Structure 1
Amino acid sequence: MRNDSMNLIIVGRAKRRRRFILVTSLLAIIASALCFAMLMLGNTIYPVQDVVRVLLGEQVKGASFAVGTIRFPRMVAGIFAGFAFGVAGTVFQTMLRNPLANPNVIGITAGSSAAAVFCIIVLQASNMVISIASVVGGLATVIVIFQLSKGSSFSIGRLILIGIGIQAIFNAVISYLLLIGQKHDIPTAMRWLSGSLNGAKMENLYPLMLTVLIFTPVIILLGKRLDMLELGEQAATSLGIDTDKTRLILIISSVLIIALATATTGPIAFVAFLAGPIAKRLVGVGFSNIIPAGLVGIVLVLASDLIGQFAFVARYPVGVITGILGAPYLIYLLTRMNRKGDL
């Protein structure tokens, strides 16, 4: 009897592992295909061989500038920002055990955005200063939200409600800054607020790339502890997890990568909100969905950017398309949670 039970466990785990590998591989393939589409498509369509030659450093008339200078940085921005939003979103949703507890909804992104818009409109600062302010704004927002949500005991529901209130405050601040801003600064701020890959330059992407490459492995290494946090505070503590330390490291790592992503591309709507649930549905249970969520984030950003560029007569920023995709899911989720009594 014991052997039969053990065999069932082993077989089940093997199936889940195969599913994880298959889904992750398919997502990576789709993301790679979208990357090539980003490089090939534009006012002039270049064949795959020309794109490959440019990537290998050859000079190809016309293609070297279009692909190497304009399209390649745009693609890299989409990759790293999408991955950052996807990973950070699923960390918060898993850690706080609520699909609404993502950086977009609980005000973290709004805090980063308010700091960045202040630098753009009031200080007329450089990209480096905007990036630093965005990170500081995100971290400060997290501290305020967690301090206000403590009360006599930590409450996830209280945290979400306070986060929504903080988001409303920052959105009001952003609206005020746009009202008092100079005419030539407002288009820049509005384009940034909509979430856009337009005008991406490689020299501005290195802080985001470095941050993602440093802190994503930290989050992955804490993946098992993150899954234990999803079981609840008491269960995680009984399993030997230092919940406060683990939560602190995960929060700092996630806020850093999402704040840099926000500073680089603007707050691309709903990617952090959608990536985790989609990845969880595809991967299933038994394995961490951090990497799949990051890949889903990449797919959402690149696909939405292509749709915004080529599916309509006018061209729309990527954040507009992801907003159209994410808003119905948010309404559905709120309705479902209300019926279950989770709100």
Structure 2
Amino acid sequence: MKSNRAIRTPGGLSVRLDVRALTAVVLLVLAALTASVLLIGTGDFPIGAGDVLRTLAGQGDAGQEFIVNELRLPRVLVGLLVGASLGLGGALFQAISRNPLGSPDVLGLSQGATAGALTMIVLFSASSEQITLGALVGGLVTGAAIYLLAWKRGVHGYRLVLVGIGVSAIVTAVNGYLLTKSDIIDAAQAVVWMTGSLDGRDWNQVWPLLALCAVLVPLVLANSRGLKMMEMGDDVSYALGVRVERVRMLLMVSAVLLTASATAAAGPVSFVALTAPQLARRLTRSPGPNLLASLCMGATLLVTADFVSQRVFGAGQLPVGVVTGVLGGAYLLWLLVAERRAGRI
């Protein structure tokens, strides 16, 4: 089967369709939905997959409707949206920096959002809404600082990564200082938040994240052609009519917003933004940023990791951030070895 097919529209336009990439996206969506149904049925009160589907269709009993629609469905939707946001944000950063290590975890954006949340917890004993706002502001401020420090007649990929690593080290030290200045109750709350978890998530986290994704995802996908051209270099992109700095700024702001909002909703879930784009690229075997596949891969990874943690360790026993951290850390080590053997680092 050919990987690419040219389709001619009635208006005479020719559209190239990547069959393998489209197939991968469809399979990832099916995997994410399957994991979501199984995850909704997992917990102290198990519910079969068939009963979950009937309840979602409005045909369950009163007890099942309360458990599914009020307790478990919001948690799963937050997991899907957070994973999708991190996967798409990671793909954008890696494409802009032209570096597989260019993810929010490495660049310090997750640490910046954590600093904002810790500031609200430690200094103001804030509510959950204020903590969310603090994480969002912290991520945005950190993203702006990285961009400004990396700017020198444009933003070079490796300069962006190096500046991000430096900012990450500084912000991590600030986070450690904030923890040492907090009392035992605030410190315990901060540590739980810093782990990254979907426990206790409700509709209050779903709607803001859904609204942000509804705006940013179409905006990012609409600029995917310019981003793909930018991977050939700024000079070539300018020659092809791409307004490089405008597109880069727009996509970086979108990536920062996606990452910061995901961190605000679920805490700093580690390594999803790093691994999802790379796994998507290996699955599609397609050049370019693979934005849609990365989005679907991120959602699938997060809900699958949460399902595994609940099935293996029990509901509420192991935060999903621990699972993604272990798997992502192993993947990062493999990626570093592969990049070194290829002579790129």
CA distance 1:288–1:162, change in 2 (3 Å): closer
Distance in 2 separating the partners of 1:297 and 1:272: 7
Aligned residue number for residue 27 of structure 1:
28
Report the residue type matching 1:126 in the other structure: S
CA distance 1:151–1:341, change in 2 (3 Å): farther
Report the residue type matching 1:56 in the other structure: A
Aligned residue number for residue 323 of structure 1:
325
Aligned residues: 333
The root-mean-square deviation of aligned C-alpha atoms, in Å, is 2.0
Distance in 1 separating the partners of 2:149 and 2:258: 23
Report the residue type matching 2:75 in the other structure: R
8 Å Cα contact 2:108-2:168 kept in structure 1:
yes
- Residue 261 of structure 1 deviates from its aligned partner by 0.6
Most deviating of 244-253 and 178-187: 178-187
- Residue 153 of structure 1 deviates from its aligned partner by 6.1
8 Å Cα contact 1:20-1:287 kept in structure 2:
no
8 Å Cα contact 1:17-1:287 kept in structure 2:
no
Most deviating of 14-23 and 106-115: 14-23
CA distance 1:159–1:68, change in 2 (3 Å): same
Most deviating of 142-151 and 34-43: 142-151
- Residue 121 of structure 1 deviates from its aligned partner by 2.0
Aligned residue number for residue 177 of structure 1:
178
TM-score when normalising by structure 2: 0.91
Aligned residue number for residue 236 of structure 1:
237
Aligned residue number for residue 197 of structure 1:
198
- Residue 152 of structure 1 deviates from its aligned partner by 6.5
8 Å Cα contact 2:136-2:260 kept in structure 1:
yes
SS in 2 for 1:311: helix
Report the residue type matching 1:25 in the other structure: V
- Residue 132 of structure 1 deviates from its aligned partner by 2.7
SS in 1 for 2:199: coil
List gaps (5 residues or longer) in structure 1. 1-10
Distance in 2 separating the partners of 1:295 and 1:195: 20
Distance in 2 separating the partners of 1:183 and 1:161: 35
Distance in 1 separating the partners of 2:178 and 2:287: 46
Aligned residue number for residue 271 of structure 1:
272
List gaps (5 residues or longer) in structure 2. 7-16
- Residue 266 of structure 1 deviates from its aligned partner by 0.5
8 Å Cα contact 1:135-1:255 kept in structure 2:
no
SS in 1 for 2:338: helix
CA distance 1:201–1:233, change in 2 (3 Å): same
Percent identity between matched residues is 33
- Residue 170 of structure 1 deviates from its aligned partner by 1.1
8 Å Cα contact 1:102-1:273 kept in structure 2:
yes
CA distance 1:12–1:34, change in 2 (3 Å): closer
- Residue 282 of structure 1 deviates from its aligned partner by 0.9
Report the residue type matching 2:222 in the other structure: L
Most deviating of 317-326 and 41-50: 41-50
